[in-house]
Chains A and B, each alone.
Chain A
Amino acid sequence: MKAFTYQRAKTPAEAAAAVVKVQGARFIAGGTNLLDLMKLEIETPTLLVDVNGLGLDKIEPTSDGGLRVGALVRNADLAADMRVRRDYGVLSRALVAGASAQLRNKATTAGNLLQRTRCAYFYDPYQPCNKRVPGSGCSAIGGYTRSHAIVGQSEACIATHPSDMAVAMQLLDAKVETVRPDGKARVIPIADFYRLPGTTPHIENTLTAGELITAVTLPKPLGGKHFYHKVRDRASYAFALISVAAVVQPDGSGRVALGGVAHRPWRVAAADQAMPRGAQAVTEQLLAGARTTDDNAFKVPLVQRTLASVMAEAKKA
């Protein structure tokens, strides 16, 4: 691990200003992903600004009947909050499907949104990777691609986003609240938060330099039945091959989002509209134009079957 200086921030604006001032500075909250990457020197921050003292650790009702989740609310606490369990079940389910209890006790809401891909080539400093070293090439293309993206990928990167929580946030139309180094706040709809890889896979979201996430807000509850079905190589503590997040209403309408298929949580408006017509119709919309390899072609039927199982479960009393 490269040496770095360390300081504790006292206010969100102060933290943002501190990070933008020093080249190579980074925020640290839970650190469960950042420290892992620092040990491998994939991340080499010169300064870590500890944001844990900022008091952004509360879950509060919003004036429009939703919830504001502080950026520092731990994944375990968000999953266990009774309002989340009752009104946003898909979010609670997604959280407890991710990582281990030890990691969920440390990992934060904002940090989970910002976690980096688990592409094995990104993690291997001896292989070219456009996400790790822009312009160096993509070792995954033509390599072992079982876990890689089947939609939205580019010639530069075929990595997937690893978060379960973010898939549920996407489904719920969450909004990301931030503060910039000049102290100004803004709100980014999660639909506009993540970027597809394009030619710049190292830029993964629309945050600007020094911009700090302060909260994630959830709109008022959708009702319906909530599902998060995650398919993985082990029954617990593994990243998704694919995952299906869905809210299904009594009349069969609803919405759906996928994890494990793209560089970002994956949602398609036309797929939501196809919900009453069944799993095949929804999958056709979700994965239209999918480009698969021999290694990951299984993801297309796996999405459809997982969706079918969600829909069958939704029909049960």
Chain B
Amino acid sequence: MDDPIDINQTRRGLMIGGALSVTAAAIPGVGSAQTPGATSPGAATTPAPVTSKVALRVNGQRYEMNVDTRTTLLDLLREHMHLTGTKKGCDQGQCGACTVLVDGRRINSCLSLAVMHEGAEVTTIEGLGTPQKLHPMQAAFVKHDGYQCGYCTPGQICSAVAVLDEIKQGQPSHVTGDITQRPLLSVDELRERMSGNICRCGAYSNIIDAIGEVGGVATGAAAAGAKA
């Protein structure tokens, strides 16, 4: 009997193997394609794949890879580095499932090319904490049940860590009352700043409770009571 886990690994391995063979076949075309002025109008319709080198650090580990220029940072993380914690949701920058921290700032990894991250320091959900030693935000999501299916959760957590940092730095948001002052650490601010992360299960209130606990914001019943 096949172990289901082995089947899974085989499938992933096959996919990676397939991608690599395409890359290998493409290499002879690279030289001519990179010569300025050598691109003929006909070549534009069926261009050969092109690879490029990129070196970057992910979760503290250095990687140097040769990738198809079309590879997004998201696909680099998932398909090449096997860091599958970062999720592909919409793949067009609308859902936030692919959110990672690059040089300390949150971005949509699906809308960024891997080759554009030469020298970058990337932190994914795997780099924030481990099952044995959770990041405080991860622990708070567990405590407050800040998810249902869990697919958006890595992006939500990376985003949430950045939100608290952005408020600490004093960055204004759409709901900041007086933008010449430091933003308040409030539920309204948290909600607005998390709007780039969609949760189809609708765990939003628990997500805000989790972020609020880490950030020291009164949320839920306590905040509602304070408003009343």
Contacts and interface: CB of A to CB of B under 8 A. Distances in A.
A89 B34 contact: no
Interface residues on A, range: 35 or more
Interface in A90-110: 92-93, 96-97, 99-103, 105-106
A110 to B, nearest CB: 16
A18 B39 CA distance: 13
A28 B69 CA distance: 13
A24 B44 CA distance: 8
A230 B43 CA distance: 44
A3 B68 contact: yes
A82 B68 CA distance: 41
Contacts, number: 133
A111 B166 CA distance: 23
Interface string B33-48: 1101101010110011
Contacts of A97: 174
B137 interface: no
Interface stretch (B9-17, B56-64, B110-118, B124-132): B110-118
A47 interface: yes
A1 interface: yes
A240 to B, nearest CB: 12
Nearest to B41: A23
B146 interface: no
* Interface secondary structure of A, over-half rule: mixed
Interface stretch (A31-39, A126-134, A138-146, A174-182): A31-39
B86 interface: no
B85 interface: no
B196 A102 contact: yes
Contact of A236 (B44, B96, B192): B192
Interface stretch (B76-84, B100-108, B200-208, B214-222): B100-108
B69 A237 contact: no
Nearest to B192: A236
Interface in A254-304: none
A8 to B, nearest CB: 8
Interface of B: 26, 33-34, 36-37, 39, 41, 43-44, 47-50, 52, 68-70, 72, 91-93, 96, 99, 105-108, 111-113, 115-116, 118, 159, 162-163, 166, 169-174, 176, 179-180, 191-193, 195-197
12 contacts: A3-B26, A3-B70, A31-B111, A46-B44, A47-B39, A48-B113, A101-B106, A101-B163, A101-B196, A103-B93, A234-B195, A235-B192
Q: Nearest 3 A-B pairs (CB), nearest first?
A: A100-B196, A236-B195, A3-B47
